[in-house]
Copies of this chain bind each other. A is one copy, B any other.
C-alpha cells in the first residue's frame, strides 16, 4: 500500500511584475532540494500558478494531504478572508483532499529570531 504523502504549497501574494515573482521560484527550488515531500509554489492573485491550478495538479497526482505555507509576514484580509474562501471552494471541488492553511511563516519564532539576529549586525 502506498504511503500518503504530504504536499507542501508555498503561497505568495502575487504580482504582475516578473522581477517580483522570480525570487519565489528560486526559493521554491532551494526548498525542493532540501525536502522529501513534494513542494509547489502558488500565488494568491495577479499571477500564475494560482492556488486552484496547483491544487488541480496535486489532485491529479493523487496526493491527499496538502499543507499551505503562506510566505507572508502577517495575517490580514488576504489570509483571514480571501485565502480561506479559496480553500473552501477547493475543498468542495476536491472533497478527497485534506487542505490545511498554516499561519504566516514570517511570524514563526525561528524566522523572527533570525531576523532579530540579522538586524543586530546592520
> Which residues of A approach B to under 8 Å, CB–CB?
6, 8, 12, 15, 17, 19-21, 23-24, 27, 30-31, 34-35, 37, 39, 67, 69, 71-77, 80, 102, 105-108, 110-120, 122
A12 touches which of B71, B74, B108, B115 (Cβ 8 Å): B74
Instruction: Kindly list 11 other residue pairs between chains A and B, CB separation below 8 angstroms, not including A24-B73, A34-B120.
Output: A12-B73, A12-B74, A17-B77, A19-B76, A23-B74, A35-B120, A71-B73, A105-B115, A105-B118, A110-B117, A110-B118
Q: Do A112 and B30 have beta carbons less than 8 Å apart?
A: yes
Interface of A is mostly: helix
Q: Do B69 and A122 have beta carbons less than 8 Å apart?
A: yes
Taking CB atoms, residues of chain B closer than 8 Å to A118 are 105, 108, 110-111
